[in-house]
Chains A and B, each alone.
Chain A
Amino acid sequence: MSELHVVFRVASTEYVIPASEVLRMESYEGATPVPGAPPYLAGVVQVRGRFVPVVDLRARFGLPPAPLSIDSRIVVGQSGDRPVALLVDSAREVLHLSPEQLRPPPPMVVEQCAGYVSAVARVGERFVMLIDFRKVIGEEQRDEG
């Protein structure tokens, strides 16, 4: 059984997240910065009447910042009852991925990406990386703060 995934791009890499974890995708016109929040937090936006934090994936992944463009998107995902938006360079595509296509990432990749990538998949000529949404939004660190 293949599952639908949302594809988005950060810098030159394509990532996927299961569509079932995605609440919605929206164009991005900036967020309200929150002083004192973690550095990878772009700010807070309003999505459907809720105030949702925006995690800047470039910052989270240790990449240099890039200017916003008309392609910039937020992908609003949900972990438990917690909606969190991911700021990405673009998001335009959905893909069906079967479980066989998703392979564990090579150990060196795991190490380098701090566990944010939970699998890689080959789709035709290109590679996409499946991100671990909970880790990316810092779910496992919640109690440490």
Chain B
Amino acid sequence: MTSAGDLGDFRTSYLGEVEELLAAANAQLLAIDASLRKGESNVRAVRELFRALHTIKGLSAMVGVEPVVAITHRMESALRATDRANGRLPLPAIDVLLRGVRMVEQHVSAYADDGAPPVTPPGLLDALDALEPGAAPTAVTNEVALDLEPAVAKALAAFELDELARGVREGRRAVRVDFAPSSERAAAGLTITTVREQVGGLGEIVKVVPLSVPATATAPGGIAFALLLLTAASDEALARAAGVGVEAVRPLAAARAPAPEAPAVVDLLEPDPHEQDVHRRGAMRVDVGRLDEAMESLAALIVSRARLGRELAALTARGVDVRDLALALQDDSRRIRDLRSSILRIRMVPVAEALERLRLVVRGLRRASGKLVRLDLDAGQVECDKAVADRVFPAVVHLVRNAVDHAIEAPAERRQRGKPEEASVRVACVARSNTQLELTVSDDGRGVDRERVARRASRPVPEGDAALLHLLCLAGLSTRAEASTTSGRGMGMDIVRRIVVEELGGELLLRTERGAGTTFTLRVPLTLAVVEAFAFECAEQRFLVPLATVDEIVEVDPGRVAYGPSPRSAGARGLVGVMERRGSAIPVVDLDAALGFGARRSPALRALVVRRDGDVIAFAVDRMLGQHEVVVRPLTDPLLKVTGVAGAADLGDGRPTLVLDLVALRVRLGLGPAGSRGVR
């Protein structure tokens, strides 16, 4: 079928758009909730919410996700009633509406995964119906005759017919616009998505009905869409918007003079003049897959640029005059860097937007736990790569959940301890550098009980926060602890650590004080994929290590590295020596030996200093080879999954160069801080 591509595209944009609208709906509901708690009404939020739901309904009807249509329609009706009551929604209604949004989310994600659609609990639909005071659902009789052919009429639900009739009674025209997608039209930028947007700008689209068109002698068969809408626009304007001839626009019923008793209802869809266009102008939605494609092309470009660099070096070595070529390549490099930052900028999402969803989480926790908690979000203007945001968000949710469930005391207990009854959970985010993001999740709760954690893990009581964190992150420990207390769900600290440290190559820190509170710090890269790395040589092999993981590069004076007794190394020198760095003794490890390449022939003169959790270790290497911008790809084959190797990159010679994870390597060697042995 010729239209498959068009529908597929639409599905993607449907999912993207609905996701955004659902986020907006949640945000507006929370805003209404907050206003109600202050005893105020929030007409504006009610309207925004209505608009989001209305659009979701229209889009869902078009792709045929009928349960969503049913839910959103009821929510809309409830809001219409609310608007008439000056934006006053009874507080319990918020919960029902939130449940409605959640149900819509479930339906949409089932649609996205091609999974079985969930069953909407009938209780939810009843509860939504009950929100509309005195409304017998779809009670208005359909006294307006609509000129609909059976194939179209069949596709309309009763309430959609009612809606068309209502519009006509209120003085608008009900019109049908037919649009048949074709490759020529698509090439001219006309797809059902764009047509829907254009036509939607001229009226209220009630339903888009897909119709199959049988093949005729003159045209191949395919799919067409009938857009049914209420509008005041002329046929010509509609035809122009749809890119079709005026004969494709047909009236369903003429407009009537508004009935005198028709209430002077403000049209909830009437755009607020203050904010119209703010969202639309200059912004567009992009499928992440397309950005990934651009990123991959860029990666290939960086690799071939590195190859050119090598060729240039070879020419120089042969004594060829390459000055002009070198200048051109320099220019080229700069452009690649610019292109890279442009693409990365496109992938950036505001962190504040992602964190907004936490309000919903905390609201739920507040209700479930009966604790008084205030959530403070402070992310400023910080942005990060979408891929990073998507990965780190579940970790943040877990930490917030933990804070409310475990760290924060009940109001009575807090009063006793002289703390304000309302506890505070604060999630903040700052850009630590151009490459790193620092998220903190802090609470003013009771702090982590070291003795209890130690007992549970059957380990000695940890000294210091770093050791305590290691203990908390032991696989299985935190989940067990949780199951015995309230939530019993979610993931353990080991998963938080895995996300932050292993998946994102970041850092997880803990600071906790008995009775005063706990702060978790998550340091993660702003972007994935392209990283700055140091290249160095070790055992005649070239390696890379991400710049962000190296504290500093120091010179090693071989004569001043001391090796202590090492009874287990069978005559050989021990693996770990001690050297001086800024007045303190730090362990130094020969990277050759640590990687299993055997003893080195010449003494190492440089060392990479790595710090994690306040622990410092130096890895001695043969020599440093400079700094590169590399595209790190993970090594996914089981034969290549080795602790200490984060992935590989092509430096332009076509060969993989291993990217080391020195922190993980330290753990593999059993050189982690106390208590961490065996933890990965």
Is A46 touching B650 in the complex (CB atoms < 8 A)?
A: yes
A8-55 contacts to B (CB < 8 Å): 32-38, 41, 44-46, 49, 51-53, 55
The residues of B with any CB-CB pair to A shorter than 8 Å are 300, 541, 595-597, 633, 635, 637-645, 648, 650, 654-658, 668
Q: How far is the CA of A45 from the CA of B657 in the complex (A)?
A: 9
Is B645 touching A34 in the complex (CB atoms < 8 A)?
A: yes
Task: Please tell me which stretch of A113-121, A125-133, A137-145 contacts chain B, meaning at least 4 of its Cβ atoms lie within 8 angstroms of it.
Answer: A137-145
- CB A115 to nearest CB in B, in angstroms, measures 18
Once A44-B648, A142-B638 are accepted as A-B contacts, the answer to whether A35 and B596 lie under 8 Å apart by CB is: yes
Is B645 touching A35 in the complex (CB atoms < 8 A)?
A: yes
Counting contact residues on chain A (CB < 8 A from B), the size range is 20 to 34
Is A34 touching B541 in the complex (CB atoms < 8 A)?
A: no
> Which residues on A sit within 8 Å (CB–CB) of B635?
34, 44, 51
> Which residues on A sit within 8 Å (CB–CB) of B657?
32
Interface centre among B640, B641, B648, B650 (most CB of A within 10 A): B640
CB of A84 within 8 A of chain B?
yes
Q: A34-B645, A51-B637, A53-B637 are in contact. List 12 more A-B contacts (CB 8 A).
A: A32-B655, A32-B657, A34-B635, A34-B658, A35-B596, A36-B643, A37-B639, A41-B640, A44-B635, A44-B640, A46-B655, A51-B640
Residue of B whose beta carbon sits closest to that of A44: B656
Contact of B654 among A34, A46, A82, A138 (CB under 8 A): A46
Is A32 touching B656 in the complex (CB atoms < 8 A)?
A: yes
- CB B209 to nearest CB in A, in angstroms, measures 41
> Which residues on B sit within 8 Å (CB–CB) of A84?
637, 639
> Which residues on B sit within 8 Å (CB–CB) of A55?
639
Q: How far is the CA of A44 from the CA of B638 in the complex (A)?
A: 12
> Which residues on B sit within 8 Å (CB–CB) of A34?
635, 640, 642, 645, 658
> Which residues on B sit within 8 Å (CB–CB) of A145?
638, 641
Q: How far is the CA of A35 from the CA of B637 in the complex (A)?
A: 15
Q: How far is the CA of A89 from the CA of B635 in the complex (A)?
A: 26
Is A36 touching B648 in the complex (CB atoms < 8 A)?
A: no
**What are 28 contact pairs spanning A and B, CB under 8 A?**
A32-B541, A32-B655, A32-B658, A33-B541, A34-B645, A34-B658, A35-B595, A35-B596, A35-B597, A35-B642, A35-B645, A36-B596, A36-B645, A37-B639, A37-B642, A41-B640, A44-B635, A44-B640, A44-B648, A44-B656, A45-B656, A49-B300, A51-B635, A51-B648, A51-B656, A55-B639, A137-B639, A138-B639
Residue of B whose beta carbon sits closest to that of A143: B638
Is A53 touching B640 in the complex (CB atoms < 8 A)?
A: yes
- CB B659 to nearest CB in A, in angstroms, measures 11
Q: How far is the CA of A35 from the CA of B640 in the complex (A)?
A: 9
- CB B22 to nearest CB in A, in angstroms, measures 34
Question: Chain A, 66-94, contact with B by CB distance < 8 Å: what is the 0/1 string?
Answer: 00000000000000001010000000000
> Which residues on A sit within 8 Å (CB–CB) of B637?
51-53, 82, 84
